Structure 1
Amino acid sequence: MRAWEAPSVPDVPGEGPRPVVHDTASGHPVDPTRGEDRAALYVCGITPYDATHLGHAATYLAFDTLGRAWRDAGLLVEYAQNTTDVDDPLLERAARDGVDWRELAASQIDLFRRDMEALRVLPPDEYVAVTDEVERVAEAVAFLQETGYAYAVPTAESEGDDLYFDVNRPTEAWTLGDESRLDRETMTRLSAERGGDPDRAGKRDPLDPLLWRAARTGEPSWDTVVGPGRPGWHIECSVIAGDRLGLPISVQGGGSDLVFPHHEMSAGHAAALAHQPLANAFVHTGMIAYQGEKISKSLGNLVTVRGLLDDGADPRAIRLALLSHKYSDDWEWFDGELSSATARLATWDAWAAGEPAGHADDAADVAARIRARVADDLDTPGAVAAVDTAIAGGTAVTPELVDLVDALLGIRLG
């Protein structure tokens, strides 16, 4: 599937430090490339049934920053992202609005592409629609059946059986709970809240996730080696990440609401399929609130990228507003965020357009500080502050420094 147009990224003299990021699984900062010259990134994509809200944008900007920092450190970056273009929320929204689910998905994917282009997010090398991978996912589910990791649960709604993953079957590279460090009561609650079905009769364990949903009347389905139906959520990412990037990948990324069950179960599926960990590090972004509640499609308190752009916002200001917060923090968007970022951007633009003044050595020091902050667990607020301090202190503006702001922070000045 086509991704979106890539923004140009300037070549900047020198190299930045190799980035270190916080690994949710271990709770420690790590170099997820483990010293190799290649970095493999997989970020969970959208379920395309509504516009890109600021929570989405902040997540993709965080991993865009990671990719930029890896490239600045001289690494080869390979990036894959999926789009879950068949899933219950999409089907429910299409039925509610009386539209074909495929048309709804296509329209929202196109909107997402335009939003990513406006924000100058680097596109993935592999942008993969789940509907293009159904047969491959079914083959993986068949393998899990053959090796005893998958089992059937009959359903009265279909002639076929639903297939589930046995979380208690031993694997070489995964044990339930390692990724999230959550107790069973919490995992059961989160499973129910985030697409699982812990109360489903016939399962061996309430936490066992769905691998394959047998065909139901009125739902899309595909004829495959495991019978007609469609994939479960978690197995999609396991298969796409492994096929496109090879395991283990450097980073599995997404919002913190994906820690459990999505990334937990995706890691379990990968271990059962490949006898390898899914990733060297699991990196998660915080949640953004608005009007006192987490931004959520279900709550309807959306602040969308498209809405801000349609109201005349400079996309660079939106990017700068989001990068002014630490990617892993939970925080709240206030209407003044954009006006503050717009004022800051005007100051940066004026500085970039000015005549060089001060000492060139100062500019080199600022560049080193920007690189150091971004490499230290994507500390973009620290990098933004370094630019502010440089401008306030009369640091010489140089083409190399302006290019570095563009290359690492994705903000083209002047």
Structure 2
Amino acid sequence: MMGLSGGVFAQTSGSQTYSTVESQVAKSVAIDRQAAAQQKEARATALAANPNAQQGAIDSALNSLVIKNETKNQQQLNQASVASATPSLVEQVGATLPKLAQIGGQLKYGEHIVISQEGPEIIALIRSLVTRQQPDQRAVIARLQEFASNGKPEAVHFLGFSFEHGLYGAPKSLSQATKYYQLAASQNYQPSLYNLGLIAAYGKSGNAPDLERGLAWMAKAMTLANDTSGRVCGLASFLAFRTNRQPEAVRFAKGCNSALAHIPRASLGDTESLPIRVGWLRDSIATGADDGYSLIAKISKPLIKTDNNFTFCKYVLINRHYRRATLPNIKDEAARCVDQVGKMVGSEKGWSVQREQIIAGVASFVPMEIETLKNMRKSNKFHYSWTVPYLPFAQAETDLFEPLLTKETQR
């Protein structure tokens, strides 16, 4: 394995074993929980005996010297019980804690895509690194090193992620990260296929963006598993659309919950109403993709005669000006577009009165919508351009890693 003896997973002589760290946590948590449970039970018993008692009187009784002495005695007994535990018993308790963390993570985040039998434990360890203090990270890193040394793709992939972003002491190196991603991808590990596709499509390696190569990685990833965060299907459908593979774009977008999949869904289908399709494309703009600006004008043009909202005029001007800071002639441009539409639709009675109102509405809408779409993009925290430590990588987990990766990008 490449470089496993140094860098991100290098062990230090003073690091504790994983089971030792966890068994210490088990001791203190067990004592605190027992004492808290006893207090809660005593309070509930007092309330049940006298429902009309004042809370203050109950608290006073619970805080009496007798109760305090009894609680102290019970805590001492608890501590003695823990202290008398044999090393083998402590080891057993410590060994169960990764499983408990794994179960807790699954309840909060759902199941993750893994290949190896140890995969769920590896994902739980990776997630725990984000919130642990540095001294406690050493034991986790040592455990991940062991998994990676044994070729477990989930841990090998995380090596790549750490090198890509320069995390946990690893020197920042995209070339080294790519080697690890390729190694895990050779075992058909979907997150590695996804990261390789993202790197190619965005040109992260310093080369020009290669959409064809990115799509090839993503298409292979699509055959392996269902990524419920929508990252794989979203990018696959978007890259297929950008490379003019319309049938594939529509196929990848089917059932996909990514806003990127809205691009082929809205532009290549016509079964939904114009407002729904416009809404989809507005959501796609929030991801960072600009395609939606021109596509809204494109899909609204055939519906000019039935669209009383003048969507075409609004978004033709928005597409023309969304990169500009000022719009000095927006009212004149709105007037020209509205008059062109009027000729196509045919002037009706009262058109001259409606014309001024329509022009004013279009001219005022354009700068407001440009600003709204900019703010939508700024507030979107899904970070579609990020590579992932594992999949699914949903919003809750993006939020978990954001402080770490944002700090990395600002160094």
Q: The TM-score by the shorter chain falls in which range?
A: under 0.3
Relative to the length of structure 2, the TM-score reads 0.26
If asked which structure has higher relative contact order (CA below 8 Å, sep 6+), I would say: 1
Higher strand share: 1
Relative to the length of structure 1, the TM-score reads 0.26
